[in-house]
Copies of this chain bind each other. A is one copy, B any other.
């Protein structure tokens, strides 16, 4: 579990997305402008988020990104894990046996700490963050995910992945 600005960018972007997806797919260009994150950097982050099934994309005009799940099913830990990817692993981890086993005790201990923190971040969902963000104008049912496209015919809804 690593915590850097990268994860924060991703969380910020996901909140922005969650706040607007009820109007249809949200473009990265929009998020980039509103949140002051470079478009190309967002593309990289959302590539990872998409591969982790946290968001779904809709290509072409009127396209953009939607959440792939209800926002109460997406935790901060999910987001951070998606973008920070493979990650630390206590440098000796389960791999080598260090020197004495004294060292591995220290490592395991750190792993425990990691786990507890992860557990905490897993308990914080996007829905909570959004609710905390906009306690006023959050209509009851909006945390349901919506079909990707709104236009009259189509609903081609790629969702590839």
Q: Using CB atoms and an 8 Å cutoff, list the residues of chain A in contact with chain B.
A: 1-5, 8, 11-12, 15-16, 34-36, 76, 88, 90-92, 98-99, 102-103, 105-107, 109-110, 112-113, 116-117, 120-121, 124, 129, 132-133
Q: B98–A112 contact, CB under 8 A? A: no
Instruction: Decide if the interface of chain A is mainly helix, strand, loop or mixed.
Output: helix
Total copies of the chain: 2
Given A36-B99, A103-B36, check contact A133 B109 (CB 8 Å): yes
Which partner residue on chain B sits nearest A124 by CB separation?
Answer: B113
Q: Which residues of B contact A2 (CB under 8 A)?
A: 3-4
Given A3-B3, A16-B106, check contact A36 B116 (CB 8 Å): no
**In the complex, A129→B105 CA distance in Å?**
11
Q: Which residues of B contact A1 (CB under 8 A)?
A: 3
Looking at the assembled complex, report how far the CB atom of A159 sits from the nearest CB atom of chain B, in whole angstroms: 15
Q: A109–B15 contact, CB under 8 A? A: yes
Q: A5–B109 contact, CB under 8 A? A: no
Q: B106–A35 contact, CB under 8 A? A: yes
Q: B106–A132 contact, CB under 8 A? A: no
Q: A11–B110 contact, CB under 8 A? A: yes
Known A4-B88, A120-B120; further 20 A-B contacts with Cβ < 8 A? A2-B4, A3-B3, A3-B117, A5-B91, A11-B113, A12-B106, A15-B109, A16-B106, A34-B102, A34-B103, A35-B106, A36-B92, A36-B98, A76-B113, A109-B132, A113-B124, A113-B129, A116-B120, A117-B117, A117-B120
**In the complex, A109→B130 CA distance in Å?**
9
